[in-house]
């Protein structure tokens, strides 16, 4: 199962947006189209902190200077089966009552998160929707939402705007018994920092990345041959500190981890 689509209404810098999601997806658009708000919606709701996010007054879309902020937020997360028999597996058994049939034979799960401004209070509501778009009753909604999010966590790259401690952004000392592998892990970490962290404060990062890319390509070939998955886990551990809340990024067949990057110069 994976996150297939996200619909947003009234959240931060987005008045209305519907977007289909795919693996290795790159979003390109003009300034102020809502990129940061989209990443915030993903990282706040699908957060790895083992807690359900509650909206605040700052999360509402600002209508105009005269009219102020809106009073309602809707985020609709659409999850889809990866294959038509997935809902029969042990992993998805807790969600069996949540699956909604679809014409393409890949069943969906619809998780809706709403926020309502009621006076000084902001009410956040999690619900799963049926085929008619109505909330499914007689279920422990928040517990099921928590479990679903746990298997689809979103980790946002710790860029310069999200982490003001520059020491945390410096290249890491990666320990690995295989010296070549350690250098390849280090190359991946340096490339991530080079392209996604504002490096004006660190002149030695302005380097020729050719060697780093060669090391990264060598690692990619090894990952393709890594049937056991152990190399993937080692890489995740090596670069986990570069992601917010990523101290223990899960790498297993039961988890569809979402990694979020933002080009600061875009």
| Domain map (residue ranges) of the chain | 2-150, 166-260
- Pick the closest to residue 223 from 209, 233, 214, 212 (CA basis): 233
Nearest one of 52, 10, 38 to 260, comparing CA atoms? 38
CA distance 233 to 251: 6
Structure confidence by residue, pLDDT tens digits, 178-236: 889 989 998 998 888 887 775 554 555 556 789 999 999 999 999 999 888 889 888 88
| b/e map 131-146, b = 16+ CB within 10 Å | eeeeeeeeeebeebbe
d(CA 183, CA 98): 45
**The two structure tokens encoding residue 192:** 């991530």
Look up residue 28 and give its DSSP letter: -
Lowest mean pLDDT among 24-28, 31-35, 157-161: 157-161
C-alpha span between 263 and 266 (Å, rounded): 5
Using CA atoms, how far apart are residues 149 and 130, in angstroms rounded to an integer? Answer: 19
CA dihedral of residues 198, 186, 235, 232 (deg, nearest 10): 110
Alpha-carbon span 162 to 45, nearest angstrom: 17
The model's pTM is 0.82
Give the closest residue to 103 by CA, choosing from 76, 84, 130, 127: 84
pLDDT per position as a tens digit, 77-121 = 999 988 877 777 767 778 888 999 999 989 999 999 999 999 889
CATH 3.40.50, applies to 2-150: yes
Q: Do residues 105 and 35 make contact, with C-beta atoms less than 8 angstroms apart?
A: no
Query: What is the three-class DSSP state of 59?
Result: helix
pLDDT higher than 50, residue 167:
no
Statement: residue 39 has pLDDT above 70: yes
Q: Measuring CA to CA, which residue among 60, 86, 146, 155 is closest to residue 111?
A: 146
Rounded average pLDDT over 133-156: 92
């Amino acid at each position: 199962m994976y996150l297939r689509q996200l619909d947003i209404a009234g959240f931060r810098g987005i008045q209305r947006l519907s977007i289909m999601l795919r693996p290795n997806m790159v979003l390109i658009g003009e300034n102020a189209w809502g990129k940061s708000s989209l990443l915030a919606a993903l990282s706040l709701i699908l957060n790895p902190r083992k807690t359900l996010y509650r909206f605040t007054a700052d999360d509402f879309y600002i209508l105009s200077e005269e009219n102020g902020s809106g009073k309602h937020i809707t985020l609709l997360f659409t999850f889809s089966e990866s294959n038509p028999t997935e809902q029969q597996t042990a992993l998805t058994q807790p969600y069996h009552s949540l699956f909604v049939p679809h014409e393409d034979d890949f069943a969906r799960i619809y998780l809706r998160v709403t926020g309502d401004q009621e006076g000084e209070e902001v009410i956040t509501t999690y619900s799963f929707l049926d085929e008619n778009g109505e909330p499914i009753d007689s279920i422990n909604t928040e517990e099921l939402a928590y479990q679903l999010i746990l298997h689809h966590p979103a980790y946002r790259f710790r860029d310069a705007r999200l982490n003001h401690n520059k020491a945390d952004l410096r290249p890491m000392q990666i320990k690995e018994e295989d010296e070549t592998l350690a250098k390849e892990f280090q190359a991946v970490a340096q490339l991530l920092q080079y392209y996604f962290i504002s490096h004006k404060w660190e002149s030695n990062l302005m380097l020729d990345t050719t060697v780093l890319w060669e090391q990264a390509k060598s690692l990619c070939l090894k990952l393709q041959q890594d049937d056991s998955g152990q190399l993937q886990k080692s890489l995740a551990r090596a670069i986990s500190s570069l992601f917010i809340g990523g101290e223990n990024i899960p790498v297993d067949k039961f988890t569809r981890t979402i990694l979020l990057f933002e080009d600061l110069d875009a």
